[in-house]
Copies of this chain bind each other. A is one copy, B any other.
Amino acid sequence: MPYRTTDRTRDKKDAKRTAMMQAAVRVFAEKGYHAATVRDIVAAADVAIGTFYFYFPDKETLFVYLYEETADFLLRTVEQGLRRGDSWPGRLAAALQSFVNIATYEPAVVQLLLVGGVGAVPALVESRGRFRNELADLWQEALDEAIAAGELRPQNSRLTAQGLAGAFDEIVLHLLSLPEPTMVAAAVIQEMTTFALRATGYSQ
């Protein structure tokens, strides 16, 4: 057999696939689902239009997939942050650090998740709902642990979790709209932590 699906060719294919997905994330984040055309994406990835359809079934499927991948990445990152600290303030600060890191170094991730294509892709409504729920789950679990540990007073941890998630989004989105987000990131993390400690009724 003169032609083999060797490791090298497979690696190459995977690499191209990954490159195209990264290009797609950038374009989707920048323009939103509808305004981003397949031509934009292939131009960003520097391939022909047919190549797109060789790797992906269609634009919508790719978008939903990227959304879910991205959501998963964000969730896992925040989750790891939450595991890093040994007290509620510590876990909180670590998780916010993680979140703000993603936002400043991979702004496309946040753009895609928070403003990308909601309302544009029916199939996404469900994905978005799942994402917001899982994000709230994450915070709620952390809250419940802190409550169980006596660090926080009993409260409606579900609603608190939702409130925190929404608050962090708003603040980070605003941060990203500043000319030099990295310059103030540390201070914002500090302030967000303070806000969140208050919001969760943490004293001392």
Do B170 and A163 have beta carbons less than 8 Å apart?
yes
Contacts of A34 in B (CB 8 A): 33-35, 120
Chain A at the B interface: SS class: helix
Closest Cβ–Cβ distance, residue A67 to chain B (whole Å):
12
Closest Cβ–Cβ distance, residue A29 to chain B (whole Å):
8
Number of interface residues of A (CB under 8 A): 42
The answer, among B31, B160, B167, B170, for a CB contact under 8 Å with A119, is B31
Closest Cβ–Cβ distance, residue A119 to chain B (whole Å):
3
The answer, among B116, B166, B174, for a CB contact under 8 Å with A171, is B166
For the complex, give the distance between the alpha carbons of A119 and B34 in Å. 9
A168 within 8 Å of B by Cβ? yes
Closest Cβ–Cβ distance, residue A171 to chain B (whole Å):
5
Per-position 1/0 for A107-138, Cβ under 8 A of B = 00001000111111010000001001000100
A182 within 8 Å of B by Cβ? no
The answer, among B119, B167, B170, for a CB contact under 8 Å with A115, is B119
**What number of copies of this chain does the assembly contain?**
4
A164 within 8 Å of B by Cβ? yes
Do B156 and A163 have beta carbons less than 8 Å apart?
no
When A35-B120, A159-B188 are in contact, do A198 and B195 touch as well, CB less than 8 Å? no
Per-position 1/0 for A187-200, Cβ under 8 A of B = 01001101100111
A201 within 8 Å of B by Cβ? yes
Contacts of A195 in B (CB 8 A): 156, 159-160, 163, 199
Do B32 and A191 have beta carbons less than 8 Å apart?
no
Closest Cβ–Cβ distance, residue A200 to chain B (whole Å):
7
Contacts of A168 in B (CB 8 A): 163, 166
- Further contacts, 7 of them, CB under 8 A, given A119-B120, A162-B170, A164-B167: A32-B119, A156-B194, A159-B188, A159-B192, A163-B171, A166-B169, A199-B199
